[in-house]
Amino acid sequence: MTAAAERDGLAGGKLVGVPVRVDQVKRPGDAVGAVFPDLDRDRGHVLDSTLGRVKICLVTPFAWSLPHDVNQHVAGIAKELRALGHTVTVLAPSGRPADLAAGRRALARGEGADTIAIGTAVPISRRSSLGVPVGVRANLRLALEQGRFDVVHGFEPGLPSISYLALRDSEALGVASFFSPERLGYPPRRALREKLLARIDSLIASSETTAAAAGERFPGDYRILSPGVDTELFRPAAKRNLVVIELHSGSLPVARTALRSLKQLPGWDAVLLRTKPLSTRPAIPHALRDRVRVRSGKTPEARAAVLAEAAIVVPAPTGSARLRLEAAAAGAVLADPPGVLDQPELAAAALQRLAENSDVRERKSREGRAAAEAQSFAAVARELEQIYGGLGGRKRVRRRDGEPLADRPWIVADLHMHTSWSHDCSIEVDELLDHAESEGLGAIAVTDHNVFGGAQEAVEKARRRELIVIPGEEVKTDDQGEVIGLFLKEEIPRGMTFAETVAAIREQEGIVYLPHPFDRMHAIPFPATLHRHLHEIDVLEVYNARLLFEGYNDEAVRFARKYGLPAGAGSDAHVLQGVGTGALRMRAFDGPEEFMLSVRSAEVLRRPKSLAYLQSLKWVAQVKEKVR
């Protein structure tokens, strides 16, 4: 059995921190008290409360060799985060041969670099279904493995891109940023989106509008963070009577109206600024041709040169949000009244009022500059530093000390099974106890569906046996799957919220054991629920012998390993033949505190039997029960 455990098991000592409870008085020679000084007093777990200096990986899906709003954001925060003392690596595609050569050298030598181009740029859009090339995937995986990052921050992961893959495949703490409501189409399947969400620790959006749109496809708690602006590059200069009109294909009527209003503003010139390629542009009236110029603003430097001397900017309602922020930083005043897309004439009226009142322009210019300074890349980097540092508390510290229960014998414990007290099981309690002992089990947890009588009966009937029986209950929540309470004293009603169910277990000083957390064939907690209650989960079931797809168990193993959660395993047996097919090899224990100490050094035993065989036995038993 030991060899099998070593071959098939997941070493608990490599997985968990110190998950003992702290509501016991320290006693001399007590194994629980021996680790008492190191514990978090609120939850009974050792937590890494801060990451300190962080190794950060920023992953952008857009070609680093071309100007892009997202890349400008990434470059800006990367610079400022490095100034704060963090190590930052940018992973991106590129179309520039020199970038690709440097990226290959860095990966081949295992050397760190500020920016690593991991492959050629692949055209992507919200309608794209093109997969990332195999070579780029391999380079991405190698870069993540070599970097050993604390945080992987992916930008626009709603696109089929390296950002999505990095967040999906990395076991570092994950942060996702969304910038556009139009870049949310991937992955198309809900199951894949939920899988991604379970691996993301913080969700960020650049605006309330983007957060609302992203929340429809990627539900969770979003933090609004400014796109940021380089306040050194975009600075006010000597202003002249210049209006900058943004050109965007979705807002051409606004640009035309603003351009025509220039006829009533003698002494004012205009620049038609395009930040993206256009299929057409407004016709310039013959009378204004000497006063109007068309400029390209694809790069930040080009936009800064135009905005520095501009007094007024007419932004396109469907255009770049970044341009508005850059205009404010440059001291230009926005002519951007509400409803301008439906009534373009409003833009002309606002432009004329501002042009005629220099005092208002000066006041609004100062206000805009002050607001932009609060959204500088340096300010955004400080907010991100707080977000990254706060994620450290999600991981439990992996202790390297000895085993407090090293003098106890090893036993095999099946932590999830049912009796005839469950509506879908016909195993009598006496039969279960006899069979568990005949299988060599040293401990079992009786966890019937929404009833506690079976566990109580099993505890009473096992008093004269060597078998340890843990009284438990598998409680159905309102819409967030099931939660098992171990070492309970009384029944917990079904139908409460996840938080209420966990609280009810803790009120009885029980152990919160989360069964089959990723079995998408049944109701399970939402990813956001898992993350909100991460610190309250005492044991995560990483192996359930009755799951149809082994990938669900693998996902639980990954989740537990990432956050340092104690690993549990159970057969979820509904027939005698299933008892013991999933279990832990652990030290003998007495009570919940010693149980949690024992879990630290436990190994997962996978002894599966055919699920079709076990399920058919369950159905036969249910039919017999109905006939009877």
Residues 438 and 497 placed together within one structural domain of the fold: yes
3-state secondary structure (DSSP) of residue 384: helix
pLDDT in tens, 467-517: 999 999 999 999 999 999 999 999 999 999 999 999 999 999 999 999 999
Dist. CA 467–CA 471, nearest whole Å: 13
Closest CA to 525 of 493, 557, 482: 482
Segment 33-39 shows an average pLDDT of 37
Burial letters 356-394, b for 16+ CB under 10 A, else e: eeeeebeebbeebbeebeebbbbbbbebbbebbbebbeb
Q: Is the dihedral of CA 524, 525, 528, 534 positive or negative?
A: negative
Quote the CA–CA distance of 579 and 599 in Å, as a whole number.
Answer: 20
Q: What are phi and psi of 153, to 5 degrees?
A: -115, 110
- Contact of 358 with 241, CB cutoff 8 Å: no
50-54, 123-127, 379-383, 576-580: lowest mean pLDDT where?
123-127
What local confidence, expressed as pLDDT, does residue 478 receive? 95
Q: Which of 394, 427, 453 is the last residue of a domain?
A: 394
State residue 614 phi and psi, 5-degree precision: -65, -40
Contacts of 343 by beta carbon, 8 Å cutoff, 6+ apart: none
pLDDT for residue 320 = 87
272-318, pLDDT tens digit by residue? 998 887 666 778 888 888 999 999 998 999 999 999 999 999 999 99
Q: What is the mean pLDDT of residues 165-171?
A: 95
Which two tokens mark 54? 């962080």
Please tell me the distance from the alpha carbon of residue 372 to that of residue 209, in angstroms, as a whole number.
20
Assess if residue 233 is contained within a domain.
Answer: no
Segment among 17-26, 122-131, 156-165, 379-388 with least mean pLDDT: 17-26
- Left, alpha or beta for 492 (phi > 0: left; psi -120 to 50: alpha)? beta
Least confident interval from 1-5, 266-270, 430-434, 469-473: 1-5
Cα–Cα nearest to 73, from 161, 204, 170: 204
Percent of the chain with pLDDT over 70: 86
Pair (207, 336) in one structural domain: no
- Does residue 423 fall inside a structural domain? yes
- Say how far apart CA 419 and CA 440 lie, in whole Å: 19
More confident of the two residues 125 and 26:
125
Residue 35 pLDDT: 37
Instruction: Give the pLDDT score at 623.
Output: 53
412 with 508, same domain?
yes
Judge if 195 and 132 occupy the same domain: yes
Q: Which two structure tokens, joined as six digits, stand for 229?
A: 């602006």
What is the 3-class SS of 300-341, one letter each residue? Answer: HHHHHHHHCCCCEEECCCCCCHHHHHHHHHCCCEECCCCCCC
- At CB < 8 A and 24+ separation, what contacts does 138-141 make? 139/103, 139/107, 140/91, 140/165, 140/166, 140/169, 141/169
Same domain, 9 and 135: no
* Residue 561 counted as domain residue: yes
- How crowded is residue 267: how many other Cβ atoms within 10 Å of its Cβ? 8
Confidence of residue 134 (pLDDT cuts 50, 70, 90): confident
Token code pair at residue 500: 């209420």
State the total domains in the chain.
3
10 has pLDDT over 70: no
Half-sphere exposure of 504 (CA within 13 A, CB side): 22
Is residue 626 over pLDDT 50? Answer: yes
Amino acid at position 1, single letter: M
Average pLDDT over residues 137-159: 95
Between 116-125, 189-198, 232-241, 452-461, the lowest mean confidence (pLDDT) is in 116-125
How large is the average pLDDT for residues 591-605? 95
Please, what is the angle between helix 345-356 and helix 252-261, to 10°?
A: 40
Task: Say which amino acid occupies 537.
Answer: I
Helices (H) and strands (E) in the chain, counts: 21, 21
**Do the beta carbons of residue 173 and residue 394 sit within 8 Å?**
yes
22 confidence band (pLDDT: 50, 70, 90) = very low
Q: Position of tokens 């149809």? A: 548
Residues 488 and 619 in one domain: yes
Domain match, 197 and 59 both? yes
Q: Phi and psi at residue 604, in whole multiples of 5°?
A: -80, 130
Residue 11 DSSP label: B
| pLDDT number for residue 279 | 63
More confident residue, 142 or 122: 142
Angle between helix axes 97-109 and 134-147 (nearest 10 degrees) is 50
603, 536: one domain: yes
pLDDT, mean over the chain: 87
Residue 388 has pLDDT above 70, yes or no: yes
Residue 334 has pLDDT above 70, yes or no: yes
In a domain, residue 374? The reply is no
**158-162, 391-395, 447-451, 460-464: segment of lowest average pLDDT:** 391-395
Return the amino acid letter for 275: T
Q: Is residue 234 part of a domain?
A: no
272-276, 348-352, 368-372, 597-601: the lowest-pLDDT one: 272-276
Q: In angstroms, what CA-CA distances link 309 with 58, 134, 269?
A: 34, 48, 11
Q: Which residues make Cβ contacts (< 8 Å) with residue 421, sequence separation at least 6?
A: 448, 451, 453, 454, 457
- Please tell me the predicted confidence (pLDDT) of residue 445: 98
Which range is least confidently modeled, 47-51, 265-269, 555-559, 599-603?
Answer: 47-51
| CATH classification of the domain holding 306 | 3.40.50.2000
412: domain CATH number is 3.20.20.140
For residue 13, pLDDT beyond 70:
no
Residues 446 and 457 occupy one common structural domain: yes
Residue 583 lies in a domain: yes
Q: Is residue 27 part of a domain?
A: no
Mean pLDDT of 425-434: 95
- As a three-state string, the secondary structure of 28-93 is CCCHHHHCHHHCCCCCCCCECCCCCCCEEEEECCCCCCCCCHHHHHHHHHHHHHHHCCCEEEEEEE
Strand partners, 295: 273
Place of tokens 């907690």: 525
Q: Is residue 28 part of a domain?
A: no
Enclosing domain of residue 166: 55-228+379-394
Does 436 lie in the same domain as 289?
A: no
Angle, nearest 10°, between helix axes 69-83 and 377-390?
70
Q: What is the pLDDT of residue 5?
A: 38
Task: Check pLDDT > 60 for residue 422.
Answer: yes
Residues 345 and 405 in one domain: no
Higher pLDDT, residue 254 or 1:
254
Answer whether 446's CB lies under 8 Å from 471's CB: yes
Dihedral pair phi/psi, residue 9, rounded to 5°: -85, 165
**Co-location of 516 and 580 in the same domain:** yes
Report the alpha-carbon distance of residue 239 to residue 510 in Å, rounded.
69
Residue 613 has a pLDDT of 54
Tell me, what's the pLDDT at 268? 95
Strand 567-570: give its sheet, edge to edge: 567-570, 539-544, 511-514, 482-486, 468-476, 443-449, 410-417, 582-587, 603-606
Q: What is the secondary structure of 389-453 as a DSSP string?
A: HHGGGGSBP---S--TTTTSPEEEEEEEE--TTSTT----HHHHHHHHHHTT-SEEEEEEES--H
What is the DSSP code string of 542-577? EEETT-S-HHHHHHHHHHHHHHTPPEEEE--BSSGG
Distance CA 560, CA 15 (A): 7
Name the 3-class secondary structure at 151.
strand
573 falls in which pLDDT band (50, 70, 90)?
very high
